[in-house]
A and B are shown apart, each in its own frame.
Chain A
Amino acid sequence: MYSVNYHRASSVADAARQLKNGDAKLLSGGMTLIPAMKTRLASPSDLVDVSRLKELQGVKVSGKTVTIGAATTHYDVSTDEKLKKVCPALAHMASLIGDPAVRHRGTIGGSIANNDPAADYPAALLALGATIVTNKREIAADKFFKGLFETALKEGEIVTAVSFTAPAKAAYQKFRNPASRYAIVGVFVTKGKDGARAAVTGAGEDGVFRSKEIEAALAKNFDAAALGGLKVPAKGLMSDIHASADYRANLIAVMAKRAVAAANA
């Protein structure tokens, strides 16, 4: 790892100030950033640690409205009793990230700001129609995830929370790479007041995306049977040593069926 200057932010406002130092980066759980720095794929001059900020911690549930602080760990999301009551699918999804030690450190804000094309949270937030709250504005998930490791976040902008209305039904299913355990394909489906939404991670050449085909099939009938003849186009899907685009297209249909069955169970 190259030399770096560490700053522990005392507030979100302080973090925004500290971010102006050189080529500074925000540090939350560090489960992607620290390994990337060790391999010199990332070499920020400064790190601004927001992981201990109380204002960014915790899950709040008020009726059907869920708000999760950006520095809330995957473990805390996966074990939150209030969340498990209103949106068990998201708690379940968080329990599938990485391994226990990674879930103890990694955070929801860090995951979505990084927008890894195989990360789980982007699919969940897109399917939930969530709102991403920053220190400057609110951004709809549909506008937030821009491409591979790219988001709508501007220079110096800090994710502070995500919020969404818990849908009537939701579930997430992922087909993992057996070695890395990242999603080769992950599908998050929801049935809310505006109908069905389905978001796919791990597969798109431009990162997470909503599947028109799945959503159209589920609009009429939110049932796994409605996806019986589903054909997902392989165009725009990744082909790599782990899986071809055709294989991923097939997996999307399979994971979507499983997710809908789980949501209805």
Chain B
Amino acid sequence: MSDVSLTVNGRRVSGNAEDRTLLVHFLREHLGLTGTHVGCDTSQCGACVVHVDGRAVKSCSMLAVQASGSTVVTIEGLADGAELHPVQAAFKEHHGLQCGFCTPGMIMTATDMIARHPQGLDEATVRAELEGNICRCTGYHNIVKAILAASETMAKGAKGKAKQAA
């Protein structure tokens, strides 16, 4: 057993967990954050993607104790109160989901992808970047559309803020 201390969605949390506890199970079962899903459990599908210290990782392939001391953001941490994160809003607007099971991982991957491509995204890049996320409804068309739209909205937002600052 080890002590696991994390900052999850801005909140300091700690708990005691077996060393073999996966980060995804710690989030879901110890912290009750069930938005992060376990899909394939073999690190292929990406339903469990969260951000650890600002980087998208598969929380089914990392021990909770490995993450101890880190800052974690899950799907529950994206919205600002009642206001959806731009990526969430774009998935809603463009119907970027069918059954919705892969959606939390898709959105966490998308926010990371957009952050790493401040110059903007094109369809080929989005599809290549979605390599590690599987939608078994095969609803990629609207997922890609939503990510491209969110990327544009966020670029405009960033420019707006830069103008305000100037």
A→B interface (CB under 8 Å): 1-6, 27, 30-31, 34-35, 37-39, 47, 49, 51, 75, 98-102, 104-105, 181
Contacts and interface: CB of A to CB of B under 8 A. Distances in A.
Given A49-B66, A101-B49, A6 B56 contact: no
Nearest to B64: A6
17 contacts: A2-B20, A3-B19, A4-B20, A6-B66, A30-B63, A35-B43, A38-B22, A38-B42, A75-B55, A100-B112, A100-B113, A101-B49, A101-B56, A101-B132, A104-B55, A104-B56, A105-B61
B108 to A, nearest CB: 9
Chain A, interface SS category: mixed
A37 B22 CA distance: 11
Interface in B1-16: 2
Nearest to A5: B19
B113 to A, nearest CB: 7
10 nearest CB pairs, A to B:
A99-B132, A99-B131, A6-B19, A104-B55, A1-B20, A101-B58, A6-B65, A34-B61, A101-B56, A101-B132
Chain B, interface SS category: mixed
A38 B62 contact: no
Nearest to B56: A101
Interface of B: 2, 18-20, 22, 41-43, 46, 49, 55-58, 61-63, 65-66, 109, 112-113, 116, 129, 131-133
Contacts of B2: 6
Given A6-B66, A35-B42, A105-B61, 16 more contacts: A1-B20, A3-B20, A6-B2, A6-B63, A30-B62, A35-B43, A35-B61, A39-B42, A51-B66, A98-B131, A99-B46, A100-B112, A101-B56, A101-B57, A101-B132, A105-B62
A95 to B, nearest CB: 10
Contacts, number: 71
Nearest to A33: B61
Nearest to A49: B66
Contacts of B42: 35, 38-39
Contacts of A3: 18-20
